[in-house]
Structure 1
Protein backbone atom coordinates (compact mmCIF):
# COMPACT_ATOMS: atom_id res chain seq x y z
CA UNK A 1 0.00 0.00 0.00
CA UNK A 2 2.84 2.36 0.81
CA UNK A 3 4.53 1.74 -2.55
CA UNK A 4 1.22 2.17 -4.38
CA UNK A 5 0.55 5.49 -2.61
CA UNK A 6 4.05 6.71 -3.50
CA UNK A 7 3.50 5.88 -7.17
CA UNK A 8 0.10 7.58 -7.22
CA UNK A 9 1.56 10.71 -5.59
CA UNK A 10 4.35 10.77 -8.14
CA UNK A 11 1.91 10.44 -11.05
CA UNK A 12 -0.35 13.13 -9.57
CA UNK A 13 2.57 15.49 -9.09
CA UNK A 14 3.76 14.88 -12.63
CA UNK A 15 0.30 15.61 -14.05
CA UNK A 16 0.05 18.74 -11.95
CA UNK A 17 3.44 19.89 -13.13
CA UNK A 18 2.52 19.31 -16.77
CA UNK A 19 -0.69 21.30 -16.33
CA UNK A 20 1.11 24.24 -14.73
CA UNK A 21 3.72 24.11 -17.47
CA UNK A 22 1.00 24.42 -20.11
CA UNK A 23 -0.46 27.37 -18.22
CA UNK A 24 2.88 29.17 -18.07
CA UNK A 25 3.60 28.50 -21.75
CA UNK A 26 0.16 29.89 -22.58
CA UNK A 27 0.96 33.00 -20.57
CA UNK A 28 4.26 33.40 -22.45
CA UNK A 29 2.53 33.14 -25.80
CA UNK A 30 -0.17 35.57 -24.71
CA UNK A 31 2.50 38.00 -23.53
CA UNK A 32 4.14 37.93 -26.94
CA UNK A 33 0.90 38.41 -28.83
CA UNK A 34 -0.66 41.03 -26.53
CA UNK A 35 2.23 42.85 -24.93
CA UNK A 36 0.09 45.93 -24.35
CA UNK A 37 -2.56 44.00 -22.39
CA UNK A 38 -0.23 42.16 -19.94
CA UNK A 39 2.06 43.65 -17.36
CA UNK A 40 5.60 42.73 -16.45
CA UNK A 41 4.33 41.56 -13.05
CA UNK A 42 2.25 38.83 -14.68
CA UNK A 43 5.23 37.48 -16.61
CA UNK A 44 7.41 37.47 -13.49
CA UNK A 45 4.74 35.57 -11.59
CA UNK A 46 4.60 32.98 -14.34
CA UNK A 47 8.39 32.50 -14.16
CA UNK A 48 8.26 32.10 -10.39
CA UNK A 49 5.45 29.61 -10.79
CA UNK A 50 7.54 27.54 -13.20
CA UNK A 51 10.57 27.55 -10.85
CA UNK A 52 8.40 26.63 -7.88
CA UNK A 53 7.00 23.50 -9.47
CA UNK A 54 10.39 22.49 -10.82
CA UNK A 55 11.92 22.61 -7.33
CA UNK A 56 8.93 20.85 -5.80
CA UNK A 57 9.10 18.04 -8.34
CA UNK A 58 12.87 17.68 -7.93
CA UNK A 59 12.59 17.40 -4.14
CA UNK A 60 9.84 14.80 -4.37
CA UNK A 61 11.73 12.65 -6.88
CA UNK A 62 14.85 12.81 -4.68
CA UNK A 63 12.85 11.47 -1.73
CA UNK A 64 11.62 8.56 -3.85
CA UNK A 65 15.07 7.59 -5.22
CA UNK A 66 17.13 7.79 -2.00
CA UNK A 67 15.48 4.95 -0.14
CA UNK A 68 18.56 2.81 0.70
CA UNK A 69 20.55 3.92 3.71
CA UNK A 70 24.32 3.65 4.05
CA UNK A 71 23.97 0.79 6.56
CA UNK A 72 21.72 -1.14 4.19
CA UNK A 73 24.17 -0.66 1.34
CA UNK A 74 27.12 -1.98 3.36
CA UNK A 75 25.00 -4.85 4.71
CA UNK A 76 24.09 -5.93 1.17
CA UNK A 77 27.72 -5.56 0.12
CA UNK A 78 29.09 -7.74 2.93
CA UNK A 79 26.27 -10.30 2.81
CA UNK A 80 25.79 -10.80 -0.93
CA UNK A 81 28.17 -8.95 -3.27
CA UNK A 82 31.56 -9.72 -1.70
CA UNK A 83 30.79 -13.42 -0.95
CA UNK A 84 29.65 -13.88 -4.56
CA UNK A 85 32.89 -12.37 -5.90
CA UNK A 86 35.04 -14.48 -3.55
CA UNK A 87 33.16 -17.64 -4.47
CA UNK A 88 33.58 -16.97 -8.22
CA UNK A 89 37.30 -16.27 -7.76
CA UNK A 90 37.90 -19.43 -5.68
CA UNK A 91 36.06 -21.55 -8.26
CA UNK A 92 38.21 -20.13 -11.08
CA UNK A 93 41.39 -20.53 -9.02
CA UNK A 94 40.58 -24.19 -8.27
CA UNK A 95 40.02 -24.96 -11.95
CA UNK A 96 43.36 -23.33 -12.87
CA UNK A 97 45.21 -25.33 -10.22
CA UNK A 98 43.69 -28.60 -11.47
CA UNK A 99 44.70 -27.65 -15.00
CA UNK A 100 48.31 -26.97 -13.95
CA UNK A 101 48.59 -30.22 -12.03
CA UNK A 102 48.18 -32.03 -15.31
CA UNK A 103 51.09 -30.15 -16.90
CA UNK A 104 54.67 -31.36 -16.48
CA UNK A 105 57.72 -29.38 -15.45
CA UNK A 106 56.24 -27.40 -12.55
CA UNK A 107 54.76 -23.92 -12.76
CA UNK A 108 56.54 -20.84 -14.05
CA UNK A 109 55.49 -17.73 -12.17
CA UNK A 110 55.82 -14.00 -12.72
CA UNK A 111 55.10 -11.76 -9.76
CA UNK A 112 54.93 -8.07 -9.02
CA UNK A 113 53.54 -5.82 -6.32
CA UNK A 114 51.47 -2.68 -6.41
CA UNK A 115 50.73 -0.13 -3.68
CA UNK A 116 47.64 2.03 -3.28
CA UNK A 117 49.76 5.20 -3.44
CA UNK A 118 53.28 6.09 -4.68
CA UNK A 119 56.19 6.62 -2.35
CA UNK A 120 56.97 4.89 0.94
CA UNK A 121 53.78 5.73 2.86
CA UNK A 122 51.29 3.31 1.30
CA UNK A 123 48.68 1.71 3.55
CA UNK A 124 47.95 -1.32 1.36
CA UNK A 125 50.13 -3.35 -0.97
CA UNK A 126 48.92 -6.05 -3.32
CA UNK A 127 51.01 -8.83 -4.83
CA UNK A 128 49.93 -10.84 -7.87
CA UNK A 129 51.45 -13.92 -9.49
CA UNK A 130 50.76 -15.08 -13.07
CA UNK A 131 51.54 -18.44 -14.65
CA UNK A 132 53.53 -17.69 -17.80
CA UNK A 133 52.39 -20.61 -19.96
CA UNK A 134 48.64 -20.16 -19.54
CA UNK A 135 48.88 -16.38 -18.91
CA UNK A 136 46.39 -16.53 -16.03
CA UNK A 137 46.44 -14.98 -12.56
CA UNK A 138 46.93 -17.76 -10.01
CA UNK A 139 46.75 -15.74 -6.83
CA UNK A 140 46.68 -12.21 -5.48
CA UNK A 141 47.28 -11.14 -1.90
CA UNK A 142 46.53 -7.85 -0.13
CA UNK A 143 48.83 -6.81 2.71
CA UNK A 144 48.26 -3.90 5.08
CA UNK A 145 51.37 -1.96 6.00
CA UNK A 146 50.81 -2.35 9.75
CA UNK A 147 51.05 -6.15 9.34
CA UNK A 148 54.72 -5.79 8.38
CA UNK A 149 57.60 -3.54 9.36
CA UNK A 150 56.98 -0.96 6.59
CA UNK A 151 55.12 -0.45 3.34
CA UNK A 152 58.27 -1.51 1.50
CA UNK A 153 57.93 -4.99 3.04
CA UNK A 154 54.41 -5.56 1.63
CA UNK A 155 55.82 -7.06 -1.57
CA UNK A 156 57.82 -9.72 0.26
CA UNK A 157 54.93 -10.65 2.55
CA UNK A 158 52.56 -10.87 -0.43
CA UNK A 159 55.00 -13.14 -2.27
CA UNK A 160 55.34 -15.39 0.78
CA UNK A 161 51.57 -15.77 1.05
CA UNK A 162 51.22 -16.55 -2.65
CA UNK A 163 53.94 -19.21 -2.55
CA UNK A 164 52.51 -20.70 0.66
CA UNK A 165 49.07 -21.05 -0.90
CA UNK A 166 50.35 -22.57 -4.14
CA UNK A 167 52.95 -24.92 -2.65
CA UNK A 168 51.47 -25.99 0.69
CA UNK A 169 47.73 -25.74 0.10
CA UNK A 170 47.60 -26.79 -3.58
CA UNK A 171 50.92 -28.72 -3.57
CA UNK A 172 52.29 -27.26 -6.80
CA UNK A 173 55.97 -27.36 -7.71
CA UNK A 174 57.48 -24.01 -8.71
CA UNK A 175 60.14 -24.30 -11.42
CA UNK A 176 60.93 -20.61 -11.98
CA UNK A 177 60.02 -17.19 -10.67
CA UNK A 178 60.38 -13.81 -12.40
CA UNK A 179 60.34 -10.69 -10.19
CA UNK A 180 61.72 -7.20 -10.03
CA UNK A 181 65.06 -6.50 -8.33
CA UNK A 182 63.60 -6.21 -4.83
CA UNK A 183 66.49 -6.94 -2.43
CA UNK A 184 64.33 -8.65 0.20
CA UNK A 185 62.64 -10.87 -2.39
CA UNK A 186 66.00 -11.77 -3.91
CA UNK A 187 67.36 -12.79 -0.51
CA UNK A 188 64.24 -14.77 0.41
CA UNK A 189 64.22 -16.77 -2.83
CA UNK A 190 67.94 -17.44 -2.53
CA UNK A 191 68.01 -18.56 1.11
CA UNK A 192 64.55 -19.85 2.05
CA UNK A 193 63.10 -21.61 -0.99
CA UNK A 194 65.77 -24.39 -1.15
CA UNK A 195 64.39 -25.78 2.14
CA UNK A 196 60.91 -26.31 0.66
CA UNK A 197 60.57 -29.47 -1.47
CA UNK A 198 58.09 -27.72 -3.78
CA UNK A 199 60.52 -24.84 -4.48
CA UNK A 200 63.88 -26.63 -4.19
CA UNK A 201 64.43 -26.44 -7.97
CA UNK A 202 63.22 -22.86 -8.29
CA UNK A 203 65.21 -20.59 -10.60
CA UNK A 204 64.95 -16.88 -9.94
CA UNK A 205 65.03 -14.43 -12.86
CA UNK A 206 64.85 -10.64 -13.03
CA UNK A 207 62.29 -8.95 -15.23
CA UNK A 208 63.95 -7.22 -18.20
CA UNK A 209 61.51 -4.30 -18.09
CA UNK A 210 62.51 -3.36 -14.55
CA UNK A 211 66.21 -3.62 -15.44
CA UNK A 212 65.68 -1.43 -18.51
CA UNK A 213 63.83 1.11 -16.39
CA UNK A 214 66.72 1.36 -13.92
CA UNK A 215 69.26 1.49 -16.73
CA UNK A 216 67.39 4.34 -18.40
CA UNK A 217 67.43 6.36 -15.18
CA UNK A 218 71.20 5.89 -14.83
CA UNK A 219 71.78 6.99 -18.42
CA UNK A 220 69.63 10.09 -17.86
CA UNK A 221 71.64 10.95 -14.74
CA UNK A 222 74.94 10.46 -16.57
CA UNK A 223 73.86 12.58 -19.55
CA UNK A 224 73.28 15.56 -17.22
CA UNK A 225 76.96 15.66 -16.24
CA UNK A 226 79.34 17.98 -18.04
CA UNK A 227 80.96 16.36 -21.05
CA UNK A 228 78.55 13.38 -21.07
CA UNK A 229 75.63 14.98 -22.86
CA UNK A 230 75.98 12.70 -25.90
CA UNK A 231 75.31 9.63 -23.77
CA UNK A 232 71.64 10.53 -23.71
CA UNK A 233 71.48 10.15 -27.49
CA UNK A 234 72.40 6.47 -27.09
CA UNK A 235 69.79 5.71 -24.41
CA UNK A 236 67.26 4.06 -26.71
CA UNK A 237 69.89 1.99 -28.56
CA UNK A 238 71.52 0.78 -25.32
CA UNK A 239 68.17 -0.31 -23.88
CA UNK A 240 67.30 -2.10 -27.13
CA UNK A 241 70.67 -3.87 -26.95
CA UNK A 242 69.87 -5.04 -23.43
CA UNK A 243 66.54 -6.51 -24.59
CA UNK A 244 68.33 -8.14 -27.55
CA UNK A 245 70.90 -9.79 -25.29
CA UNK A 246 68.24 -11.06 -22.88
CA UNK A 247 66.21 -12.53 -25.74
CA UNK A 248 68.99 -14.22 -27.71
CA UNK A 249 71.27 -15.79 -25.09
CA UNK A 250 70.18 -19.33 -24.11
CA UNK A 251 69.37 -19.98 -20.47
CA UNK A 252 72.31 -21.04 -18.35
CA UNK A 253 75.03 -19.33 -20.37
CA UNK A 254 75.81 -16.54 -17.94
CA UNK A 255 79.34 -15.93 -19.31
CA UNK A 256 78.03 -15.39 -22.83
CA UNK A 257 75.32 -13.12 -21.48
CA UNK A 258 77.90 -10.91 -19.73
CA UNK A 259 80.27 -10.66 -22.69
CA UNK A 260 77.47 -9.95 -25.13
CA UNK A 261 76.14 -7.18 -22.92
CA UNK A 262 79.58 -5.58 -22.40
CA UNK A 263 80.11 -5.51 -26.16
CA UNK A 264 77.84 -2.46 -26.27
CA UNK A 265 80.89 -0.34 -25.30
CA UNK A 266 82.57 -1.32 -28.58
CA UNK A 267 79.37 -1.35 -30.57
CA UNK A 268 78.68 2.36 -29.99
CA UNK A 269 82.16 3.04 -31.40
CA UNK A 270 81.40 1.04 -34.55
CA UNK A 271 83.74 -1.75 -33.38
CA UNK A 272 82.24 -5.21 -33.89
CA UNK A 273 85.21 -7.45 -33.08
CA UNK A 274 86.01 -8.07 -29.42
CA UNK A 275 89.00 -9.42 -27.47
CA UNK A 276 87.17 -12.40 -25.99
CA UNK A 277 86.85 -16.02 -27.03
CA UNK A 278 83.26 -16.37 -25.81
CA UNK A 279 81.93 -13.56 -28.00
CA UNK A 280 84.63 -12.56 -30.53
CA UNK A 281 82.33 -10.79 -33.00
CA UNK A 282 78.93 -9.11 -33.04
CA UNK A 283 76.04 -10.98 -34.56
CA UNK A 284 75.41 -10.38 -38.24
CA UNK A 285 72.30 -8.29 -37.72
CA UNK A 286 74.20 -6.01 -35.32
CA UNK A 287 77.43 -5.65 -37.31
CA UNK A 288 75.52 -4.57 -40.40
CA UNK A 289 73.94 -1.66 -38.56
CA UNK A 290 75.53 1.73 -39.05
CA UNK A 291 76.53 3.31 -35.79
Structure 2
Protein backbone atom coordinates (compact mmCIF):
# COMPACT_ATOMS: atom_id res chain seq x y z
CA UNK A 1 0.00 0.00 0.00
CA UNK A 2 1.23 3.45 -0.89
CA UNK A 3 1.50 5.95 1.95
CA UNK A 4 -0.33 8.57 -0.08
CA UNK A 5 -3.27 6.23 -0.69
CA UNK A 6 -3.58 5.57 3.02
CA UNK A 7 -3.32 9.23 4.05
CA UNK A 8 -5.76 10.38 1.38
CA UNK A 9 -8.30 7.68 2.23
CA UNK A 10 -8.07 8.29 5.97
CA UNK A 11 -8.33 12.06 5.68
CA UNK A 12 -11.32 11.95 3.33
CA UNK A 13 -13.13 9.96 6.01
CA UNK A 14 -11.94 11.98 9.02
CA UNK A 15 -12.73 15.33 7.39
CA UNK A 16 -16.30 14.25 6.64
CA UNK A 17 -15.89 14.53 2.89
CA UNK A 18 -17.43 12.38 0.20
CA UNK A 19 -15.10 10.11 -1.78
CA UNK A 20 -16.80 10.64 -5.15
CA UNK A 21 -16.77 14.41 -4.85
CA UNK A 22 -13.07 14.44 -3.95
CA UNK A 23 -12.37 11.98 -6.77
CA UNK A 24 -14.19 14.27 -9.20
CA UNK A 25 -12.06 17.20 -8.03
CA UNK A 26 -8.89 15.19 -8.63
CA UNK A 27 -10.15 14.18 -12.06
CA UNK A 28 -10.70 17.82 -13.06
CA UNK A 29 -7.20 18.62 -11.84
CA UNK A 30 -5.73 15.65 -13.78
CA UNK A 31 -4.30 14.20 -10.57
CA UNK A 32 -3.99 10.58 -9.54
CA UNK A 33 -6.61 9.33 -7.10
CA UNK A 34 -6.94 6.23 -4.95
CA UNK A 35 -9.60 3.90 -6.35
CA UNK A 36 -12.97 3.65 -4.65
CA UNK A 37 -12.49 -0.02 -3.76
CA UNK A 38 -9.11 0.72 -2.14
CA UNK A 39 -10.63 3.64 -0.26
CA UNK A 40 -13.27 1.39 1.32
CA UNK A 41 -10.76 -1.37 2.07
CA UNK A 42 -8.53 1.10 3.92
CA UNK A 43 -11.55 2.53 5.73
CA UNK A 44 -12.73 -0.90 6.88
CA UNK A 45 -9.27 -2.19 7.82
CA UNK A 46 -7.70 0.83 9.52
CA UNK A 47 -10.17 3.66 10.20
CA UNK A 48 -13.51 2.50 11.52
CA UNK A 49 -12.32 0.66 14.63
CA UNK A 50 -9.99 3.44 15.91
CA UNK A 51 -12.67 6.07 15.30
CA UNK A 52 -15.23 3.99 17.20
CA UNK A 53 -12.82 3.42 20.08
CA UNK A 54 -12.04 7.13 20.31
CA UNK A 55 -15.73 8.03 20.27
CA UNK A 56 -16.57 5.47 22.97
CA UNK A 57 -13.76 6.76 25.19
CA UNK A 58 -14.68 10.41 24.69
CA UNK A 59 -18.39 9.81 25.23
CA UNK A 60 -17.74 7.84 28.41
CA UNK A 61 -15.77 10.79 29.80
CA UNK A 62 -18.56 13.21 28.91
CA UNK A 63 -21.23 10.99 30.51
CA UNK A 64 -19.16 10.57 33.69
CA UNK A 65 -18.82 14.34 34.00
CA UNK A 66 -22.51 15.00 33.35
CA UNK A 67 -23.53 12.43 35.97
CA UNK A 68 -22.22 14.87 38.57
CA UNK A 69 -24.75 17.51 37.49
CA UNK A 70 -28.29 17.55 38.84
CA UNK A 71 -29.63 19.75 36.04
CA UNK A 72 -28.61 18.68 32.55
CA UNK A 73 -29.86 20.65 29.54
CA UNK A 74 -29.58 18.91 26.20
CA UNK A 75 -29.85 20.32 22.68
CA UNK A 76 -30.87 17.96 19.90
CA UNK A 77 -31.40 18.13 16.17
CA UNK A 78 -31.79 15.68 13.33
CA UNK A 79 -30.42 15.62 9.82
CA UNK A 80 -31.45 13.49 6.85
CA UNK A 81 -29.12 12.36 4.07
CA UNK A 82 -31.41 13.99 1.49
CA UNK A 83 -34.38 16.38 1.63
CA UNK A 84 -38.03 15.43 1.50
CA UNK A 85 -39.58 11.98 1.63
CA UNK A 86 -36.75 10.33 -0.31
CA UNK A 87 -34.37 10.32 2.68
CA UNK A 88 -32.85 6.91 3.40
CA UNK A 89 -30.86 7.65 6.56
CA UNK A 90 -31.40 9.98 9.49
CA UNK A 91 -28.93 11.04 12.18
CA UNK A 92 -29.83 12.70 15.46
CA UNK A 93 -27.11 14.48 17.43
CA UNK A 94 -27.44 15.62 21.03
CA UNK A 95 -25.09 18.03 22.78
CA UNK A 96 -24.90 19.41 26.32
CA UNK A 97 -25.77 23.08 26.62
CA UNK A 98 -22.90 24.39 28.77
CA UNK A 99 -19.93 22.50 27.37
CA UNK A 100 -21.29 21.89 23.85
CA UNK A 101 -19.91 18.36 24.12
CA UNK A 102 -21.57 15.73 21.94
CA UNK A 103 -23.45 13.41 24.27
CA UNK A 104 -25.17 10.99 21.91
CA UNK A 105 -25.51 10.19 18.22
CA UNK A 106 -28.18 7.96 16.73
CA UNK A 107 -28.51 6.86 13.11
CA UNK A 108 -31.63 5.24 11.68
CA UNK A 109 -32.23 3.55 8.35
CA UNK A 110 -35.63 4.09 6.73
CA UNK A 111 -36.02 0.33 6.61
CA UNK A 112 -36.20 0.41 10.42
CA UNK A 113 -39.30 2.64 10.26
CA UNK A 114 -41.27 0.65 7.66
CA UNK A 115 -39.71 2.79 4.93
CA UNK A 116 -41.39 5.88 6.36
CA UNK A 117 -38.81 8.69 6.33
CA UNK A 118 -41.25 11.10 8.01
CA UNK A 119 -40.92 9.36 11.37
CA UNK A 120 -37.15 8.79 11.25
CA UNK A 121 -36.36 11.87 13.36
CA UNK A 122 -38.95 10.82 15.93
CA UNK A 123 -37.43 7.33 16.10
CA UNK A 124 -33.96 8.81 16.52
CA UNK A 125 -35.20 11.04 19.34
CA UNK A 126 -36.89 8.15 21.14
CA UNK A 127 -33.72 6.08 20.99
CA UNK A 128 -31.71 9.04 22.26
CA UNK A 129 -33.96 9.67 25.25
CA UNK A 130 -34.25 5.99 26.11
CA UNK A 131 -30.46 5.74 26.18
CA UNK A 132 -29.76 8.95 28.14
CA UNK A 133 -32.57 9.13 30.71
CA UNK A 134 -31.25 6.21 32.80
CA UNK A 135 -27.78 7.79 32.81
CA UNK A 136 -28.36 11.52 33.29
CA UNK A 137 -30.58 13.89 35.25
CA UNK A 138 -32.15 15.56 32.23
CA UNK A 139 -34.26 18.57 33.19
CA UNK A 140 -34.63 20.35 29.86
CA UNK A 141 -34.45 19.43 26.19
CA UNK A 142 -34.14 22.04 23.43
CA UNK A 143 -35.21 21.07 19.90
CA UNK A 144 -36.78 22.60 16.83
CA UNK A 145 -40.58 22.74 16.55
CA UNK A 146 -40.91 19.16 15.33
CA UNK A 147 -44.56 18.21 16.05
CA UNK A 148 -43.82 14.54 16.76
CA UNK A 149 -41.08 15.38 19.25
CA UNK A 150 -43.26 18.05 20.83
CA UNK A 151 -45.93 15.40 21.35
CA UNK A 152 -43.44 13.05 23.00
CA UNK A 153 -42.45 15.76 25.49
CA UNK A 154 -45.98 16.94 26.20
CA UNK A 155 -46.13 17.31 30.02
CA UNK A 156 -49.63 15.83 30.22
CA UNK A 157 -49.87 13.18 27.49
CA UNK A 158 -46.35 12.64 26.15
CA UNK A 159 -44.32 9.47 26.44
CA UNK A 160 -41.83 11.17 28.76
CA UNK A 161 -44.32 13.07 30.94
CA UNK A 162 -43.27 11.10 34.05
CA UNK A 163 -39.74 12.47 33.82
CA UNK A 164 -40.83 16.08 34.24
CA UNK A 165 -38.71 17.34 31.35
CA UNK A 166 -39.09 20.92 30.20
CA UNK A 167 -39.27 21.22 26.42
CA UNK A 168 -37.89 24.43 24.92
CA UNK A 169 -37.78 25.46 21.28
CA UNK A 170 -34.59 26.59 19.59
CA UNK A 171 -35.25 30.17 18.44
CA UNK A 172 -32.53 29.89 15.78
CA UNK A 173 -34.83 27.81 13.59
CA UNK A 174 -37.64 30.33 13.95
CA UNK A 175 -35.29 33.27 13.32
CA UNK A 176 -33.89 31.58 10.22
CA UNK A 177 -37.38 31.05 8.83
CA UNK A 178 -38.37 34.62 9.69
CA UNK A 179 -35.30 36.09 7.98
CA UNK A 180 -36.09 34.17 4.81
CA UNK A 181 -39.65 35.50 4.83
CA UNK A 182 -38.45 39.05 5.41
CA UNK A 183 -35.96 38.87 2.55
CA UNK A 184 -38.67 37.50 0.26
CA UNK A 185 -41.09 40.29 1.26
CA UNK A 186 -38.44 42.97 0.72
CA UNK A 187 -37.61 41.57 -2.72
CA UNK A 188 -41.29 41.67 -3.70
CA UNK A 189 -41.34 45.27 -2.54
CA UNK A 190 -38.36 46.13 -4.72
CA UNK A 191 -40.05 44.65 -7.78
CA UNK A 192 -43.14 46.80 -7.23
CA UNK A 193 -41.07 49.86 -6.36
CA UNK A 194 -39.10 49.86 -9.62
CA UNK A 195 -42.44 49.71 -11.44
CA UNK A 196 -43.52 52.82 -9.49
CA UNK A 197 -46.19 50.87 -7.60
CA UNK A 198 -46.38 52.08 -4.00
CA UNK A 199 -49.30 49.82 -3.06
CA UNK A 200 -50.30 46.31 -4.15
CA UNK A 201 -52.74 43.63 -3.05
CA UNK A 202 -50.81 42.24 -0.09
CA UNK A 203 -48.61 45.11 1.13
CA UNK A 204 -47.00 48.44 0.29
CA UNK A 205 -43.56 50.03 0.04
CA UNK A 206 -41.72 50.41 3.34
CA UNK A 207 -40.89 54.08 2.72
CA UNK A 208 -43.49 56.80 2.97
CA UNK A 209 -45.28 56.91 -0.41
CA UNK A 210 -44.97 60.10 -2.39
CA UNK A 211 -48.10 62.12 -3.07
CA UNK A 212 -49.29 62.49 -6.63
CA UNK A 213 -47.86 66.01 -7.01
CA UNK A 214 -44.36 65.00 -5.94
CA UNK A 215 -44.38 61.91 -8.18
CA UNK A 216 -44.80 64.12 -11.21
CA UNK A 217 -41.78 66.23 -10.32
CA UNK A 218 -38.40 65.34 -11.88
Q: TM-score, normalised by structure 1?
A: 0.49
The gaps in structure 2 that reach 5 residues or longer are 1-31, 189-199, 208-218
1:228 aligns with 2:192: no
Question: How far does residue 202 in structure 1 lie from its aligned partner after superposition?
Answer: 0.8
Give the equivalent residue in structure 1 for 2:60: 94
Q: Write the deviation string for residues 134-169 of structure 1: whole angstroms up to 9, x where unpaired.
A: 11111111111221142221211111111122123x
Q: 1:177 to 1:79 in 2, by over 3 A?
A: same
113, 116, 132: which is aligned to 1:166? 132
1:141 aligns with 2:106: yes
Contact 2:70 2:137 in 1 (8 A): no
Q: 1:139 to 1:69 in 2, by over 3 A?
A: closer
Give the equivalent residue in structure 2 for 1:189: 153
156, 172, 176: which is aligned to 1:213? 176
1:80 aligns with 2:46: yes
Give the equivalent residue in structure 1 for 2:141: 177
Greater helix proportion = 1
Q: 1:166 to 1:69 in 2, by over 3 A?
A: closer
Question: How far does residue 79 in structure 1 lie from its aligned partner after superposition?
Answer: 3.8
Aligned-partner Cα distance in 2 for 1:174–1:74:
39
**Within-5 A mapping of 1:9-48:** none
Give the equivalent residue in structure 1 for 2:91: 126
Higher relative contact order (CA 8 A, sep 6+): 2
Give the equivalent residue in structure 2 for 1:152: 118
The gaps in structure 1 that reach 5 residues or longer are 1-61, 235-291
Give the equivalent residue in structure 1 for 2:79: 114
Question: How far does residue 201 in structure 1 lie from its aligned partner after superposition?
Answer: 2.2
Aligned-partner Cα distance in 2 for 1:186–1:163:
13
Aligned-partner Cα distance in 1 for 2:96–2:107:
19
Q: TM-score, normalised by structure 2?
A: 0.64
Question: How far does residue 187 in structure 1 lie from its aligned partner after superposition?
Answer: 0.5
Cα RMSD (Å): 2.8
Question: How far does residue 103 in structure 1 lie from its aligned partner after superposition?
Answer: 2.1
